[in-house]
Amino acid sequence: MKRILVTGGAGFIGSHLCERLWREGHDVLCVDNYYTGSKMNVAAMLGHPRFEVMRHDICQPLNVEVDQIYNLACPASPIHYQFDPVQTTKTSVIGAINMLGLAKRTKASILQASTSEVYGDPSVHPQPESYWGNVNTIGPRSCYDEGKRCAETLFFDYNRQHKVDIKVVRIFNTYGPRMHPNDGRVVSNFIVQALQGEDLTVYGEGTQTRSFCYVDDLVDGIMRLMATPKGITGPINIGNPGEFTMVELADLVLRLTGSKAKIVHKPLPQDDPRQRKPDITQANQVLGWKPTVALEDGLKQSITYFRKLLENKDQRPAVIGAARMAAEAAVKLGT
């Protein structure tokens, strides 16, 4: 049994990671400021002696005793990270410094949840870890993109200068149950719109591509990286290399939900990547990892989750119109 800290542990990915670690017998400390996370995501574990929740912002130092740290704290959808871009950058940079300082003091292994956004709008396809990226440093997405790139720099400098045992994972588009219905991401947007009989919003012509990894596959890859010997640092891409256009995804969601809604097109957001697909050669060779959940199967699980949310009278007010609210917020933010 290890004492494991998960920052952003009440979020979409963090809660699945906490649950997996908890079920494997570890003592899990979930830290979250609930900016985008939710206590509902970790409700099943509350009250158990091996699970603890702490409301805390990692922009402030944290003094706890742990063996491992998974640093997942940061809003990850454009709607959320662009709402307060300065705070987003602070979370990525100051938060990384605070967690690395904690790892240095406790001699804990620490994993940074980085992102495929470090590749920007890529000129190399698919994207290997050796690609340095094509990022707009002053655009509306740069608070997240550059914040994560700086965090990677800090992690490797702490490794070189202070011998901290680091792991860096670059996460590609992930989906599944517990996604925030109002996060503006394409999977949650499409599902909520389809279930409510609203038209599905596709930005641009819908020919831009993404690769979608089911959350259980992602968590497995993250934990495999943390379990590697000291000296294996990454960065390592974790994502599903299956590539789909936005129109293909919209058609699939309509078919699986049985919705009669239509597809409507709106202007493409600034700096929106034209294509995104991970090269997972390293993940396969170093971690023995590859995704196992097909997109259609994962979407079925996600649709079931959102359908229950919509049917739950206590949750329904927060979910109704979520995708529409996200689209309106995107227009307001100019994204």
Catalytic positions: 144
Reading the block at residue 201, the tokens are 């919003």
Cβ atoms < 10 Å from Cβ of 94: 19
Round to whole Å and give the CA distance between 102 and 96. 10
Q: How buried is residue 99: exposed, middle or buried, by Cβ count under 10 Å (0-12/13-18/19+)?
A: buried
Residue 263 exposure: Cα atoms within 13 Å on the Cβ side? 18
Please give the single-letter amino acid code of residue 170: R
Whole-number Å distance between alpha carbons of 299 and 23: 24
The CB density around residue 33, as the number of other CB atoms within 10 Å, is: 18
Place of tokens 């097909």: 294
Alpha carbons 81 and 22: distance in angstroms, whole number: 29
Task: Tell me how far apart the alpha carbons of residues 30 and 42 are, in angstroms, rounded to a whole number.
Answer: 9
In 126-185, which residue ranges form alpha helices assigned H by DSSP?
142-162
Amino acid identity, residue 166? I
